[in-house]
Chain A
Amino acid sequence: MIGPSSSHTAGAVKVGYLARSIFKDKLNKADIHLHGSFARTFKGHGTDRALVGGLLGFKPDDERIRNSLQIAKERNVEIDFNLSDLRGVHPNTAKLDLVGENKEMSIIGSSIGGSRIKIIQIDDYEVDFSGEMPTLWVLHKDEPGEIGIITSILGNYKLNIARMVVFRNKKGEVGSAIIELDHKVNDYVISNLENMDDIYQVRYVEPF
Chain B
Amino acid sequence: MKKKDLISKWLNFNLSDEELEAFNDLDASSSYHRIDRAAEYFRAPEYDADTSYLKLQNKLGHQKKSRPLFTYFSGIAAVLVVAFGLFYLLNSANELEYLAENSTTKEFTLPDTSEVTLNAGSSISFIEKDWASSRNLKLKGEAYFKVAKGEKFTVQTKQGSVSVLGTQFRVNDREGYFEVTCYEGLVRVSHGGNELDLQAGNTYKVFGNTIINEVTALAIPSWLENKSMFKSMPYHQVIAELERQYDIKISGDSADSAILFTGSFSNKNLDTALQAITIPLNLSYTINGKNVVLKINQ
Q: Answer yes or no: are A and B bound together in one complex.
A: no
